[in-house]
Amino acid sequence: MNSRRFPGAIAVVGGGPVALAAAVGFAKALPEASIEWVPAMVSDAALADRWPLVLPSAQAMLARLDCPPELLLRHGVATPRLATRFLGWGPGSSPWMVGDEPAPGPPGVALHQLWLRAETERPYHALNPVCVAGEAGQLAGNMQPALHCKARALSQGLASLARQSRVIMGQSPLTGVARGRDGVEALQLADGRELAVDFVIDATGPDRLVATSDGFNGWDDALPCRFLWIEPDAAAPSLVDTYQAVEGGWTARWPGAKATALVQGGGIPIATGRLDAPLRGNVLALGEAAVQPGPLGLTGFTLALAGLSLALDLLPVGGDTALLAAEYNRRVGQRADRMRDFLAAHQIGLASGADAVIPPSLATTLAQFTRRGTLTPVDEDSVERDAWIAVLIGQGLRPQRPDPIALGLSRDDARRLVANYNGQARAAAGKRGA
Amino acid sequence: MAGDPMADRPVRVVVVGGGTAGWMTAAGLVGLLSKACTVHLVESEEIGIVGVGEATLPHLRLYLERLGIDEAEFMAATDATFKLGIEFRDFGRIGDRYIHPFGTYGRPLGGVGFHHYWLRRRAEGADVPPIGAYSAGVVAAETCRFERPGTDPDDPTTSFGYAYQFDATRFAPFLRAWAEKRGARRTEGRVVSIERNGGDGTVGAVTLSDGARIEGDLFIDCSGFRSLLLGQELAEAWEDWSHWLPCDRAVAVPSVRPDAPTEPFTRASATKAGWRWRIPLRHRVGNGHVYASAFCGDDQATEALLAGLDGAPLADPRFLRFRAGRRRRSFVGNVVAIGLASGFLEPLESTSIYLVQAAITALVEHFPDARVEAVDRDGFNAAIDAEYDRIRDFLILHYHATTRADSPFWNHVRTMTVPDSLAEKMALWRATAQVAHYRHGLFLEPSWIAVYLGQGIVPHGWDPRADRPDAAGLDRALTGLSRAIADRVGQMPPHDRALGLSGAGAAA
Residue-wise pLDDT for B317-341, tens only, equals 999 999 999 999 999 999 999 999 9
Task: Enumerate the active-site residues of B.
Answer: 83
Helix (H) or strand (E) holding B127: none
Predicted local confidence at residue A319, as pLDDT: 64
Reported as a single tens digit per residue, the pLDDT across A8-38 is: 899 999 999 999 999 999 999 999 999 999 9
Q: For position A332, what pLDDT does the model report? A: 97
Q: Which residues of B touch A377 (CB under 8 A)?
A: 383, 439-440
Contact flag B364-A404 (C-beta cutoff 8 Å): yes
DSSP string, B305-371: HHHT-SS-BSS--EEEE--SEEES-SEETTEEE-GGGTEE--GGGS-HHHHHHHHHHHHHHT---SS
Q: How confident is the model at residue B443 (pLDDT cuts 50, 70, 90)?
A: confident
Alpha carbon A165 to its chain centroid, in Å, reads 26
- Quote the pLDDT of residue B46: 74
Q: What are B258-277's pLDDT values in tens digits?
A: 999 999 999 999 999 999 99
Residues of chain A in contact with residue B431, where contact means CB-CB under 8 angstroms, are 3-4, 320, 323-324
pLDDT above 50: residue A432: no
Residues 6+ apart with CB under 8 A from B362: B379, B380, B383, B384
Contact criterion met (CB below 8 Å) for A219 and A273 = yes
Q: Is B83 within any annotated ligand binding site?
A: yes
Of A5, A6, A379, which is closest to B438 when you measure between CB atoms?
A379
Q: Which of helix, strand or coil describes residue A94? A: coil
Domain residue limits at A25: 9-79+147-216+273-336
Among A1, A2, A28, A338, the strongest candidate for a mutation testing the B interface, having the largest count of B CBs within 10 A, is A2
B457 touches chain A (CB under 8 A): no
Instruction: Work out how many domains chain A is built from and give that number.
Output: 1
CB B452, CB B97: distance < 8 Å: no
Average pLDDT score over residue span B204-216: 96
pLDDT at A7: 85
pLDDT (average), residues B11-32: 96
Confidence band, pLDDT 50/70/90 cuts, at residue B48: low
Q: Determine if the pTM surpasses 0.80.
A: yes
Q: In which band, very low, low, confident or very high, does the pLDDT at B224 lie, cut at 50, 70 and 90?
A: very high
Cβ neighbours around B8 below 10 Å, total? 13
Instruction: Find the residue in B nearest to A369 (Cα).
Output: B375
User: Using CA atoms in the order B310, B167, B64, A380, what is the torsion angle rounded to 10 degrees?
Assistant: 60
B1 or B346: whose pLDDT is higher? B346
Is A279 inside any structural domain?
yes
Cβ B282 vs Cβ B78: under 8 Å = no
List strand residue ranges (DSSP E) for B90-210, in order.
97-101, 163-165, 185-188, 191-196, 203-208
What is the mean predicted confidence (pLDDT) over B179-203? 95
pLDDT, tens digit, 9 for 90 and up, residues A370-393: 999 999 888 899 999 999 999 999
The answer to whether the Cβ–Cβ distance between A315 and B440 falls below 8 Å is no
| CB contact at 8 A, B40 and B243 | no
Helix (H, G, I), strand (E, B) or coil at B95: coil
For chain B, how big is the Rg over CA atoms in Å? 24
Q: How confident is the model at residue B508 (pLDDT cuts 50, 70, 90)?
A: very low
* Element spanning A53, H or E: strand A53-54
How many residues in chain A?
Answer: 434
Q: Test A374 with B366 for CB contact under 8 angstroms.
A: yes
pLDDT in tens, A293-328: 999 999 999 999 999 999 999 998 876 678 999 999
Q: What are phi and psi for residue B283, nearest 5 degrees?
A: -105, -10
Is B458 in CB contact (< 8 Å) with chain A?
no
Sheet holding B37-43, edge to edge: B185-188, B37-43, B11-16, B218-221, B335-337, B331-332
In this predicted structure, the answer to whether residue B507 has a pLDDT above a threshold of 60 is no
Q: What's the rounded mean pLDDT across residues B274-294?
A: 95
Cα A302 to chain centroid distance, Å, stands at: 4
* Nearest CB neighbour to A331, from listed B379, B427, B437: B437
Residue B46 is labelled as binding a ligand:
no
pLDDT digit string (tens) for A126-177? 999 999 999 999 998 889 999 999 999 999 999 999 999 999 999 999 999 9
What is the rounded radius of gyration, in angstroms, for the C-alpha atoms of chain A? 22
Domain B10-81+166-239+325-390 has CATH 3.55.40.20: no
Neighbours of B404 (CB within 10 A): 20
Tell me the pLDDT band of B50, cut-offs 50, 70 and 90. low
Closest alpha carbon within chain A to B109: A313
pLDDT score, position B369: 87
Checking DSSP bridges between strand A227-232 and strand A257-262, what pairing results, if any? antiparallel
Among the listed residues B249, B257, B241, B314, the one whose alpha carbon sits nearest the alpha carbon of residue B275: B249
- Which of A369, A401, A411 best tests the B interface by mutation, with the highest count of B CBs <10 A? A401
When pLDDT is averaged across residues B355-373 and rounded to a whole number, the result is: 93
Domain ranges of chain B: 10-81+166-239+325-390
Spacing of C-alpha A58 from chain mean position: 8
Q: What's the confidence (pLDDT) of residue B74?
A: 96
> Any idea what the CATH number is for the domain that residue A165 is in?
3.50.50.60
CA–CA distance, A188 with B246 (Å, rounded to integer): 58
Residues 6+ apart with CB under 8 A from A382: A55, A57, A58, A299, A302, A303, A306, A335, A338, A339
Rama region for B112: left / alpha / beta (φ>0; ψ in -120 to 50; rest): beta
Question: What kind and span of H or E run contains B450?
Answer: helix B445-454
Q: Which residues of A touch B (CB under 8 A)?
A: 1-6, 29-30, 64, 108, 312-315, 318-320, 323-324, 326-327, 331, 364, 367-368, 371-372, 374, 376-380, 400-401, 404-405, 407-408
- How high is the pLDDT of residue B52? 59
pLDDT-derived band at B4 (thresholds 50, 70, 90) equals low
Nearest to B210 by CA among B59, B344, B342, B44: B44
Q: Would the CB atoms of A376 and B464 count as touching at under 8 Å?
A: no
Closest CA to B167 of B42, B298, B59, B257: B257
Residue A390: which of A5, A160, A82, A13 has the closest Cα? A82
The pLDDT of B335-364, averaged and rounded, is: 94
Assess if residue A412 is contained within a domain: no
A105-123: per-residue pLDDT in tens? 888 899 999 999 999 999 9
Residue A367, in any domain of the structure: no
β-partners of residue B221 are B16, B337
DSSP state of B41: E
Q: B252 in helix, strand or coil?
A: strand
pLDDT at residue B5 greater than cutoff 60: no
B123 touches A: beta carbon within 8 Å? yes
Which pLDDT tens digit goes with each residue over B108-156? 998 899 999 999 999 999 999 999 999 999 999 999 999 999 888 788 8
Q: Residues of chain B with pLDDT > 90: what percent?
A: 85
The chain-wide mean pLDDT, for chain B, equals 93
pLDDT band at residue B506, thresholds of 50, 70 and 90? very low
Calculate mean pLDDT across residues A328-346.
97
Residue A180 near residue A266, CB atoms below 8 Å:
no
Look at residue A278 and tell me whether its pLDDT is greater than 70: yes
In the predicted structure, residue B1 carries a pLDDT above the cut 50:
no
Residue of chain B whose alpha carbon sits nearest to that of A29: B465
H or E stretch at B12? strand B11-16
In this structure, are residues A397 and A345 in contact, taking their beta carbons and an 8 Å threshold?
no
B19 is in an annotated binding site: yes
Q: What whole-number distance in Å separates Cα of residue A75 and Cα of residue A157? A: 10
